[in-house]
Amino acid sequence: MLPPRFCGIKRNNRCGKEGIAVPTAYTEVYRQTRGGVHLLSRTRFATLKPKRGERAQGTIPVPGVDPPWDLPAFVVRGAKDGPTLAVTAGVHATEYAGIAAAIHAGRTLDPQALRGTLIVVPLVNTPGFYERTMYTNPRDGKNINRVFPGRARGSASERVTHFLTEELFEGADAYLDLHGGDMVESLIPFSLYQLTGKEETDARSAELAEALDLDYILAVPPDALRGGSYTAAAALGIPALIAEAGQQGIYDSAAEARHARGLGNVMIRLGMLDGTEQRYGIPKRLARFAWLYADAQGLFYPSVAVGDLVQSGQTVGEVRDLFGKPLQTLHADVSGPVLFLVTALAVNKGNPLMGLGTEEPGRSRAG
Ligand SMILES: [Zn+2]
């Protein structure tokens, strides 16, 4: 059987129909890819001039953005050929555990032990970082993770996402985007990928989700979250996941370690590193995300904790006014774990308050 061809290698998609096969031995299949050498030569990450068996680092300006938006980047090019893994963090600027794990990986991964290429952008939302901006990019007020794949002539966030889609995703064999609970969110670790209907992409994403070894795996249907990084990459046929660990604007070394271990496992699974995957537990699979939102501005009093298993119909919290009068009673409309929970007392109309994961089929409500 011919080895599968990888959509990431070709621009403008899209693998030819022939030659695509559902991999039965994932690692072996990846070892047959051409690796990062050719791919890097066609992206701006090549301007860092990574040499075989070495690490390069520097900043890459996003084209057409004024004032300049420089992305920090590491390119670790292995001594041997293999797949290209792209990693981003800090799309949300206060999700610190993923940012720290990405920097550590870019700085310490031994290129002599690596097959293929690791490209790391450890902080995408540079304008929001020192501002400690939650959810959005302060340049245009947009949530970067809702505007992928972006536009070449769009706002600052749209240009950044366009750049990442064109220059990073299209050259990658797999993609990880490291997140966590934002400044006002508690969270239990989980991974998220979008089902595309492309059997081989979905199968590879599922394998990498397992390798990430977070508590839950959420494989969401295409109607779930629009404009996400992993959505844009998966649409190109690239296995793509969000890894969520860490919470509440805290730099937490234990959460950083969860990200680091997941990233290491993914590289082992891809055949980029030798070794044995480190296991924390067996992730539980969920079918969709169901978010609950505030109907009014007010004070949010949750009656559940993050990680709790709730039942459909259960009261999970209340929004009250400044005199304590109830404005909204929140009920779970699915059964499953509370994956994230807003911990700020102050909430605005339309804000997400919590995200439940469920095994029940149906339409996701998230975003
Ligand atoms: Zn995030």
220-232, pLDDT tens digit by residue? 887 677 899 999 9
> How far is Cα 47 from Cα 60, in angstroms, rounded to an integer?
8
**The domain over range 7-285 is classified in CATH as 3.40.630.10:** yes
- Quote the ligand 1 centre to 183 CA distance (angstroms): 10
Q: How far is the CA of 84 from the centre of ligand 1 (A)?
A: 23
Burial of 268 (C-beta count, 10 Å sphere; 0-12/13-18/19+): middle
Distance 100 CA to ligand 1 centre (A): 14
pLDDT of 19 over the 90 cut: no
> Kind of pairing, strands 80-89 and 174-179?
parallel
Distance 97 CA to ligand 1 centre (A): 11
Task: Extract the tokens encoding 167.
Answer: 């220059």
Does 175 have pLDDT greater than 70?
Answer: yes
Measured between alpha carbons, how far is 213 from 196 in angstroms, rounded to an integer? 22
Cα of 125 vs centre of ligand 1, distance in Å, is 11
Instruction: Find the mean pLDDT for residues 119-141.
Output: 97
Distance of CA 1 from the midpoint of ligand 1 (Å): 40
Q: Residue 1: is its pLDDT beyond 70?
A: no
Q: How many CA atoms lie within 13 A of 245 on its CB side?
A: 30
Burial string for 74-108 (b: 16+ CB within 10 Å, else e) reads bbbbbeebbbbbbbbbbbbbbbbbbbbbbbbbbee
DSSP three-state, residue 202: helix
Q: What is the pLDDT of residues 265-316, one digit of tens each?
A: 999 999 999 999 998 888 999 998 999 999 999 999 999 999 999 999 999 9
Report the alpha-carbon distance of residue 302 to residue 314 in Å, rounded. Answer: 12
- How many angstroms separate the alpha carbon of residue 119 from the centre of ligand 1? 20
What would the CATH number be for the domain defined by 288-358? 2.40.50.100
Residue appearing with tokens 């995200």: 355
Q: What is the Å distance from ligand 1's center to 181 Cα?
A: 6
Tell me how far the alpha carbon of residue 258 lies from the centroid of ligand 1, in angstroms.
Answer: 16
Q: What six digits make up the tokens of 310?
A: 């709730």
For 235, the enclosing helix (H) or strand (E) is helix 229-235
CA of 94 to the centre of ligand 1 (A): 8
Distance of CA 294 from the midpoint of ligand 1 (Å)? 19
Q: Taking CA 166 as the corner, what is the angle to CA 164 and CA 171, rounded to the nearest 5 degrees?
A: 95
Distance (angstroms) between ligand 1 centre and the Cα of 289 equals: 15
In the chain, what are the domain boundaries? 7-285, 288-358
| Distance between Cα 314 and ligand 1 center (Å) | 27
342 CA to centre of ligand 1 in angstroms: 13
- What does the pLDDT read at residue 38? 58
CA of 67 to the centre of ligand 1 (A): 24
User: In the beta sheet, which residues pair with residue 137?
Assistant: 142
User: How do residues 39-73 score in pLDDT, each as one tens digit?
Assistant: 677 788 888 988 999 999 999 999 999 999 999 99
